[in-house]
Amino acid sequence: MDEANKRHWRGLRRARPERVPKAGPGQESVWDYPRPPRVEPVQATVRVELGGVVLARSDRALRVCETASPPVYYVPPEDVQREHLTASANRTFCEWKGEAHYWHACVGDREVRDVAWSYPVPEPGFEALRDHRAFYPARVDACFVGEARVAPQPGPFYGGWITPGLLGPFKGEPGTEGW
């Protein structure tokens, strides 16, 4: 992505919709997350399952919180069963984190294309994410934060994890394309 496009996307503001509920005790709202996004450690075990195999389990995961989106959870490469992942030719670009490289998963006879992504050379400020894998919850059998099973962020592009107590509305739902 050239610098002009990067500036354009970074300059977009997320207007808080009027229908956003205020977070109560034990809740958090994606509308209280910052822009630019924030990287923070996760205080619970993160687990990703596919075809009866735990693809990833970590007590050292990171999450990225950005206005309007559920957090995306990133697992250190040492905590991923990399023998089940193969590199994809797919690439996308995030104006904050840089060029994303994608991964296919193969467990037994089951292959899931572009199930995860990583940033081998993240942009400044996001170096902590280097080579960590983020998994799409909609493309695996289950994702957990602690014992809580997560729901996938709406839409085919985003990979946010919706945990209990997380309030939207979430980017990815119909009508949110401009957020």
How many CB atoms within 10 Å of residue 117? 24
User: What's the predicted TM-score (pTM) here?
Assistant: 0.92
Strand 133-135 with 53-58, pairing: unpaired
**Four-way CATH pick for 3-10+27-158: 3.90.1280.10, 3.40.50.300, 2.170.150.40, 3.40.50.150:** 2.170.150.40
User: 129, 39 in Cβ contact below 8 A?
Assistant: yes
User: 172, 30 in Cβ contact below 8 A?
Assistant: no
User: 104, 111 in Cβ contact below 8 A?
Assistant: yes
Q: What is the pLDDT along the chain (179 residues), one digit of tens a residue?
A: 677 666 655 566 666 677 788 899 999 999 999 989 999 999 999 999 999 999 999 999 999 999 999 999 999 999 999 999 999 999 999 999 999 999 999 999 999 999 999 999 999 999 999 999 999 999 999 999 999 999 999 988 889 999 999 999 998 888 776 67
Q: Which letter does DSSP use for residue 49 in this model?
A: E
